[in-house]
A = this chain, B = another copy of it.
C-alpha cells in the first residue's frame, strides 16, 4: 500500500515469514470490526437508553446491569461483578450564575456548572466580586487583604502549544482539582475555574475537585471558556466585576456499585490474564460517549470479536468495566486488590480511556524487552494508521495493577478533539464517528491477539 511509511518496511522484512498468519489475522480482525462490528450499536444503547452514569446514580446501576447482560449474551465463559462502595455526589438543581449590575452588560447570564465533589452555595446563592489569577503563586502575592470575601477566578487556559491535548490538559487541570483548597485559606468565598477546553464555546466542563480536611470548604464551579474570556475582558474594562452563583449539589453517603468483568478462559495458559478495560461511570452532563462509553464498548468488542471469529485464546482474556474512575477510582483499586489477593498474574492490561477517535498508537508501561517485542509487531499495524508503540503511562484504572510484572498499556487515539467533549454536555453519542470507534476496537483486538499468540517475553 502506497501510504505505508516506507522506512518501516525494513523492520518488517526479518519477521515476514513468521508473521504471515498474524498479518492475515489482523486484517481479518479489522475487516470484521468494520463490517460486522457491535461497538457502535452498543454505544448507542449505553448513551441513549441509559445516558449519564455518575457513580452512585440509578443510571450507573443500570449500566452495570447492561454490561453484565451484554457480556453474558456474548457467551463468554464467566461474567462476574466486583462490589465496591463509591462516592455519591449529586448536582441537584441546575446551577445559576449571572453578572451583578455590570456597567456594560447588566445581569447577563453566565454558563457555569458545579465541579464534581463541590459543596453547594448557601440556599440563596453567593454574590461577590471576582478576582482573576492564572497561577496559585499569585494568591500569596495578593494575600488575604485582596482575596477575602471574593470569588477567585482561575483563568489559565490549557496550553495550546502542546500537540498532545492531554499534555495541554495537564498544564491547566490543577486549577480545577486544587483551586478551592488553594484559595480558601485566603478567605475566598468560592472559586470559578475556566473550563478545561481548547475551544472557545459556551459549554462548562465539570470534573473532579478535592477538599482537604483541615481547609475550609468553599463552592467550586467551572465556567465556559467563552464566559471566562468575557469575565477577563470585563475586568479590564470595569473596575470591579461582581458575580452571583447558586449551586445545590451535595455529597450523599457512599453507595454500593460494581465493576463488571467478562472472561474467556485460556486454553493453554489460563493463569496468564490479558485484561482490557474502560470505565463504566461518567460525569453527569453529557452521555459519557467519548469518556468513557467508547472504552467500554471497545473493551467488550475485543471478547466479542474473538467469539465471532471463533478464535480460542491460549491465555485468559478479560473485559473489565471499571466503576468510579471519575471521582474515586474505587473500582480500579478493588480490582487490583482482588487480583493481588487471588494471586492473579496479569500478563498485560490495556486501558481505553482517551476517546473514541481515530487510532494512533499505544503507550507501554513495563519492561523494555516487552516494548521491543511489541515494536516487532508494529509493521502489522501501520496499514491501519497505527504507527507507534512507545513508553508512556497506561491509564488511571489499569495502572493500579502495577506490580513489576504486568505490562500496562494505554490505547491512544488522536487527541485533538477530546477536550471539545470531555466532561461536558457535548459528550454525546453523536460526537462519535462509527468508523473511528470501530478502528479503535480492531486495533485493541489486534494487539490482544498478538499478545495472546506470542506472549510477552
Is residue A88 within 8 Å, beta carbon to beta carbon, of the partner chain?
A: no
Q: How far is the CB of A378 from chain B (nearest CB, A)?
A: 8
Given contacts A414-B358, A433-B417, A439-B163, contact A375 B3 (CB under 8 A): no
Bound form: Cα–Cα A359–B454 in Å? 33
Of all chain B residues, which has the CB nearest A371? Answer: B6
The answer on a CB contact under 8 Å between B412 and A435 is: no
The answer on a CB contact under 8 Å between A7 and B11 is: yes
Is residue A360 within 8 Å, beta carbon to beta carbon, of the partner chain?
A: yes
A209-249 CB contacts (< 8 Å) to partner B: none
Category for how many chain A residues contact B: 35 or more
Contact with B along A245-289 (1 / 0, CB 8 A): 000000000000000000000000000000000000000000000
Given contacts A2-B390, A3-B361, contact A434 B30 (CB under 8 A): no
The answer on a CB contact under 8 Å between A391 and B2 is: yes
Q: How far is the CB of A429 from chain B (nearest CB, A)?
A: 13
A160 contacts across to B, CB distance below 8 A = 34-35, 435
The answer on a CB contact under 8 Å between A416 and B358 is: yes
Q: How far is the CB of A59 from chain B (nearest CB, A)?
A: 27
Is residue A383 within 8 Å, beta carbon to beta carbon, of the partner chain?
A: yes
A165 contacts across to B, CB distance below 8 A = 435
Bound form: Cα–Cα A390–B391 in Å? 26
What residues of chain A have their CB less than 8 Å away from a CB belonging to chain B?
A: 1-8, 11, 30-31, 34-35, 160-161, 163-165, 198-199, 358, 360-361, 363, 371, 375, 378, 383-385, 387-392, 412, 414, 416-417, 420, 433-436, 439
